[in-house]
Structure formats: structure tokens, C-alpha cells
Structure 1
């Protein structure tokens, strides 16, 4: 399948295979299914690429564990980054297997970024790549912990190399690849260095100035892929600018929602978030004094930790922080819908898909 292979179609039972034939009504009906199908296609393209590269690159002793770790991470991914980039492509071009492969390469950048974060800040209870590699090494090497950590660093670097190769070898002509290459490089830097910003903000005492910075941590992962896909498709600068504005608003809304969902865990671990920073922003003098007396990290003993959490919950309730965050999310999602509204020529499929992603955040 490539950009020149187009076939219209629209029946009562089956969605059309290409953008040709997608009306707004069709898109509203079939876009949720399309999102799932495209995620599966991106995952298959990635797994096929990694399998081929593993045969070429992973020949050193113990290298098979790297292959297994990448395959496992890809299999669990929701393919959000590549989907956003492909929607940027669809803003101007029809469906294309080569474009799907080029945008799927961004998932390897996201994976490299996640691996870097894992080395210093595990946000979930998942075993993680480093733990899996350490377990694998216990009966094989003298210092399995050192091997696990070092192999994880190697894997992150390898994902960056593979991402570039997959992008360059996707099959798109140089006339499309060349203008998008600077954005690809910028996105790679943003995703990698973004982890440094995330780590920097994660352990600070709350302050008013941090609220906006915290919210913007979600921007590169959404606005960057959208702009990359649009540039790859060769769309007009004005369309790229609006799509970036849409991505900024959607990325901020996603960050705010993610921090709300993760609030109980962040309170337990004493981690800074947009929610905590917003509470500080709206606290009165007495609450500011109380916040200033709280430690950055809750005390180890369970009883004191629970007291620490109760104090923060009282502050969050007093400042009506959750309601304020919900209002911020609604405002940013309204901006997403406004941006889509000022793009009258945006095809029905990417328009409907972006509306769905915004609705899911809401």
C-alpha cells in the first residue's frame, strides 16, 4: 500500500479503506475502529523492523535479552506517538504504508525516552526493562545488577539508532523526508531531554512558577508528532502552525489529566506534579505556610506518611484544586476543537480522530 494506491468505498457495514470516501458522518462512525486498526498496523511494522535489525545487530553474548525487551515494550505500547504523527500526515496526504512506517519510527524515540526515565524514576509497578534484564543475568554473569543497568542504557541508545534507520528507510521519497528531518531531530532531542526536565521538576518544593512549566511537559509528546507528520506530508505552513497549536493544547490537557489520575501515587511518593503546583498557586498565606512546612518526600514510617497525605488532601480540597484542573483541561480541549474548526480543508478522518482523542481526555 502506498500513497498512489487509493480506492474509494463506503458501505453500511464496512469503513472505507482510504481517506477517499470518508465523509464526516463516516469518520464519526468509524474513526474509533480506525484508531485501533492503525495502532495494530504500526505495532506490526515496528515488530517486523525490530526483528530484522535484531538479526543484524544483536549478535553479542546476552544480546537476545535486548531483543526480547524491545519486543515486550512495543507489544504493550498504545502507539499514541505514531498515531498522532500519522494523523498529521493524513492532514494532506492519503493513507500510505511508507508513511505509516516513517511515523512508527517515532515509537522507538518514545521507547528510548521511557527507558531513560526508568533508570531513575519508576512511575508504575511494572517490572521494567532494567529489572527484567537483571533477572535474566542472575544466573549468567557475576554482577547482574550492573549488567541490568548498563544493558538498559545500551538498549536506550540502540532504540535511538533504530528510530533513525526506520525513518530513513521507510520508503518515502527524499523530497518528503528531507523537509521533515529537522523536525525528527528536534523531536528526538525534545523527548530525550524532556526526561531531564521531568526529573528536575519531580522532586522540587511546589511554587507558583512551576505550574506552567509542569503543564508544558506534556507538549512535545503530542505537538511534536503532529507537526512531524504534517511536515512529512508537505502541508502548508499555516496548517502546520494550527496543528501545532492543536497539539500544544492537547498535550497540556493530557498532562493535566495524567497528573490527576496519578495524584494518589504522587502523594505517596512526594512527587511534584501539575496538581500539586496548582494547589500552591491558589493557596492563601496560611496554606502556603503549611505547605512550606511539609517535606518534599513523605517520611518513611507508614503512620507519618498517611498523616502527610491527609495534610495534602486537605490543602487540595481547600484550594479546590481538582475543580480548577478540570476547568484547565476543559479550556485546553476547547482550544483543540477551535483549532480543528479553523481548518476547513482538514480531511474528515484526521479531524474525527483528533476529536476522539480530545474526548477521551475529557
Structure 2
């Protein structure tokens, strides 16, 4: 049940000492903010609130791992930000705005990729299209679903700015200086631009049939590493007024660990368990995504002159009718070429290098331990 807008924001009851507690508090901040926004939207247009707003609220509050707010929180702590008190509460509320950016990105990404599932449930565009068909409404159900999904994503982006703005007012008041708003402007602006640029590069690589490993890595760095880890860390550190050396070390860690996260996701897209990932295995291939795993396999097949392997891989990319048997054949080829092992080894190297970067500067010990723990999750093969 979402809190009414007149209810107080989540109370500060001590420092978020572990990731689970941070995640719970982020959910509370999101529920508090979205309850107020939903009530305002209902006063403007009840059908809009009952459809677009309701979907966004449920999707944002009830789902997600809160990865970006987690990294922002530990960036704040790494830079010397308070572990508890009004400033800490405001900083975590500001970090919660990143989760609305994620809602925008996921909903729009599903439209662009034509993905039917998200978090184990119908994606926004698919759910709205199904509602259209069930009601036998006029017009094209697919276009209706996609149009409403675009609105959901747009609304998430707008409300992310609203939440951040409110949180920064509280943080500046707690710190007694109007500086957090100025400091956080750069990472907030850069993160959103990089997110869109990464999505463009992903789409362009698919359209152009890009096969270079360097291109796949560039997409991974911009679409995931910068947006999911590097900039959230930068965001949290900027809130706390981090010095340039600590910002540089945290961003370097973020690029390495964020890239490792994306490469792990690419591996799960071919080898994962849908019950754990919440999306069908093989969808990256069906959608024509040019991952490092695929690029490594294609390069190795070319170097070996293995025409059969090349044909198996190239024919699978963008094949919407790819079957379980087809996917199994792709796995056999990638394994035989050593592509999977090569990407696994790269993930391990990135994680080790990222953790080493944390030793380059003095940061809060609790934050160092938390960031090392989050980094090693990137190497877990079934996550």
C-alpha cells in the first residue's frame, strides 16, 4: 500500500549497514514519492492515473534490484558522506531517483527490442496491447501498446527529476550549504546522455551487422557500465563533495565492474536460466544484439576458417524464430570456439582490476567492503 502524500517520508532509524536495508529504504522513498505523484495525476486525469501511472508505480515500487541506488549510496559513503541523520536520508532519497531513470530505460528498451517479458511479467507495451485486444478496441493493438509504454517511460523520466529536486532541497538544508545541487549536476546530466547514446550504439550495431569486439565493448561501457555503475558512484560521491582523486578511482572501478556486469548479462542471455533472469533465454540473439560473446565467437571462427561455425552464428543473429534446438547449437559452437571461456576470463580480469582501484585512494572502510562485495557478484555465473 502506498503512503498518502500527507504521510511523512521514511524515518531515519540508523545507518543502512547492508545492501538489503538500503534496498528497503529505496523502496520506501520511491513509494512515498510516487504516492504523491499518483494522487496529483489522478486529479488531472483519472483514466491516465489508473492506466499509465498505475503501471509505472507497480513496476517501479515492486520490482528491480536497486543496483544504481546501491552504488550511489556507497559512492556517498566512500566519499565521507554521513551514515545516518538528515543528510544521509536525503542522499539516499536522491539516489532513489536513479531507479526511475531505470524504469524509463527498461520500458523504452523493451519497446525498441520488441521484448515480451520484463522481470518475469509482460513488458509494458505487451501488457497494454493485450488489454487493447481483450477490449476489442479500435485501432492497432501493437501501436497502442507501444504508445502507452513510451508515455510510461517519459513519465518516469520526468518524475525522476522531481524526486531528485526535492531530495536536493533537503540535502542542501541538512548540509547548510546550497552546493550539492551544483556538484551533482555533472554526473546526472552525463549519465542520462550516455544512457541514450549507448542505446543508440546498440541499435546501430544491430542494424549495421557490426561484428567488431571493440564496438561490442563500447556499447557495454556506455549502455551499462557508465549508466549502471560508474555514474551512480560519481553521483553519490558528488553529493558528498568528493575530491577529484576519489572520484577518479570510483569511476574507474565503476567502468570495470559495470562492464563486467554487462558481459555477465550477455552470457546469461545465451546460457542463463529464465527462472532466475526473468526473461527468455536466447532473446539477445533473436533481437540481433551484437554482444562481446558473439563478436568473440565470430572472430575466432574467421581466424580458424570455420565456415560452418560462422554460418551457425550469423544465421542465429536476428532470427525471431530461433528455437531451443537452434540455441543449443549456438552454445555448442561458442563453447567449441572458446568464446564463452574468453568472456568469462575477461569478466574475472575486470573484477580484479576494479577492486584494485579501490586501494588507490582512502575511502570509508564499510564502503570499500561493500563495493568489493558488489564487484564479486559480477563474477557469479548464475546471477
SS at match of 2:224: coil
User: Is residue 78 of structure 1 aligned with residue 89 of structure 2?
Assistant: no
Partner of 1:12: none
Contact 1:249 1:333 in 2 (8 A): yes
Residue correspondence of structure 1 range 38-57 to structure 2 within 5 A = 38-57=22-41
SS at match of 2:15: coil
Unaligned runs of 5+ in 1: 8-16, 20-30
Partner of 1:154: 151
Partner of 2:161: 164
Partner of 2:319: 298
C-alpha deviation, 1:132, in angstroms? 2.3
Cα distance in 1 for residues equivalent to 2:111 and 2:64: 19
**Deviations 1:100-153, CA, capped at 9 Å, x for gaps:** 111111111111111110112145633011222234444385335443222211
Cα distance in 1 for residues equivalent to 2:186 and 2:320: 46
Contact 1:110 1:191 in 2 (8 A): no
Selected match of 2:54 from 39, 55, 68:
68
SS at match of 1:110: helix
**Deviations 1:168-188, CA, capped at 9 Å, x for gaps:** 111121311112112211212
**Deviations 1:23-66, CA, capped at 9 Å, x for gaps:** xxxxxxxx6xx101111100110111011011113432521112
Residue correspondence of structure 1 range 118-133 to structure 2 within 5 A = 118-123=110-115, 125=117, 126-133=121-128
Partner of 1:246: 253
Cα distance in 2 for residues equivalent to 1:157 and 1:308: 35
Contact 2:76 2:239 in 1 (8 A): yes
Partner of 2:190: 186
Say if 1:280 and 1:239 are closer, same or farther in 2 by CA, change over 3 A: same
C-alpha deviation, 1:260, in angstroms? 0.8
Cα distance in 2 for residues equivalent to 1:164 and 1:6: 23
C-alpha deviation, 1:80, in angstroms? 0.7
C-alpha deviation, 1:268, in angstroms? 5.4
SS at match of 2:135: coil
Contact 1:226 1:243 in 2 (8 A): yes
Selected match of 1:226 from 222, 233, 247:
233
Contact 2:201 2:219 in 1 (8 A): no
Residue correspondence of structure 1 range 1-362 to structure 2 within 5 A = 17-18=14-15, 34-58=18-42, 59-63=44-48, 64-74=50-60, 75-91=62-78, 92-95=80-83, 96-123=88-115, 125=117, 126-137=121-132, 138-139=134-135, 141-143=137-139, 144-170=141-167, 171-173=170-172, 174-202=178-206, 204-216=209-221, 217-220=223-226, 221-264=228-271, 265=282, 266-267=284-285, 270-283=288-301, 284-287=303-306, 290-291=309-310, 294-295=314-315, 296-298=317-319, 300=321, 306-307=325-326, 310=329, 312-343=330-361, 345-362=362-379
Unaligned runs of 5+ in 2: 1-7, 173-177, 272-281
Contact 1:215 1:255 in 2 (8 A): yes
Contact 1:183 1:228 in 2 (8 A): yes
Structure 1 stretch displaced more, 281-290 or 105-114 = 281-290
C-alpha deviation, 1:261, in angstroms? 1.1
Higher relative contact order (CA 8 A, sep 6+): 1
SS at match of 1:262: helix
Structure 1 stretch displaced more, 100-109 or 134-143 = 134-143
Let me know the Cα RMSD of the aligned residues: 2.8
Normalized against structure 2, the TM-score is what? 0.79
Normalized against structure 1, the TM-score is what? 0.83
Partner of 1:25: none
